[in-house]
Amino acid sequence: MDLLEMLQGQLDDNAVSTLSKSIRADKETTAAAANGVFATLVSALSRNAAKPEAGNALLNALDRDHDGSVLNDVMSLIGGGGSTQKATNGLGILDHVLGGKTNNVIQMVSKASGLDFLKTGELMKLLAPMVMGMLGRQKRQQGLDLGGLAGILSGTVNSASSRRQDMGLISKVLDADGDGNVMDDIAGMGMKMLGGLFRK
């Protein structure tokens, strides 16, 4: 099971068009940045799930707010309506998943994809509920515990790393000093190695 492929499968041509209009960017750059957002969030979630305290917090959040129902109407979700419901509160999700380093991650994806910083931030807020919704849906459908969730997430990261090195590079940026802190040192990392990351 590859969460990235499942997430990308939600973004057909119409969905990408809607996203690009929501953030006022061209479709090609929007699609590239969207792949970067998905990869970055899945990588961050994988690291969170591997640690007991953060993993249990993730499990509780999925049980409480993310049952996957947001995926029933993706077009409304990504249309920029700005719902404050927890299941669709993209900024709240980002702060939780990225450990308070949201702006640094936006900067990374922005430089890697070529999308403007502010537009990248809007895109991340729109897509974050999709990521949590997909994870929550798999948890419910398969009855996953924390170990099962961690397995799906790490499997996705490893699969992507073996295919393209995308996730491996992102993971190194997300935890540059190897101490397990999801977002350590991201602002200080060079961006050149990520320059062509999402243009494949």
Give the tens place of pLDDT for each residue, 117-138: 999 999 999 999 999 999 999 9
Identify residue 109 by its one-letter amino acid code: V
Domain ranges of the chain: 3-194
State residue 162's pLDDT score: 64
Grouping H, G, I as helix, E, B as strand and the rest as coil, residue 32 is helix
Is pLDDT at 189 greater than 50 in this prediction? Answer: no
Is pLDDT at 182 greater than 50 in this prediction? Answer: no
162-189: average pLDDT: 46
Q: How many CB atoms lie within 10 A of CB 136?
A: 25
Predicted TM-score (pTM) of the model is: 0.82
Token readout for 73 is: 């109407």
| 178 phi and psi angles, rounded to 5 deg | 70, 20
DSSP label at residue 92 = H
| 105 phi and psi angles, rounded to 5 deg | -70, -40
Q: Note the pLDDT tens digit of each residue in 48-100.
A: 999 989 999 999 999 999 999 999 999 988 886 555 576 778 999 999 898 87
Give the H or E element holding residue 173: helix 166-174
What burial class does residue 26 get, using C-beta atoms within 10 Å of its C-beta: 0-12 exposed, 13-18 middle, 19+ buried?
exposed
Residues near 59 by beta carbon (within 8 Å), at least 6 away in sequence? 139, 145, 146, 149
> Is residue 130 a contact partner of residue 74, using CB atoms and an 8 Å limit?
yes
Is pLDDT at 151 greater than 50 in this prediction? Answer: yes
**First and final C-alpha spacing in the chain:** 22
Give the H or E element holding residue 137: helix 117-142
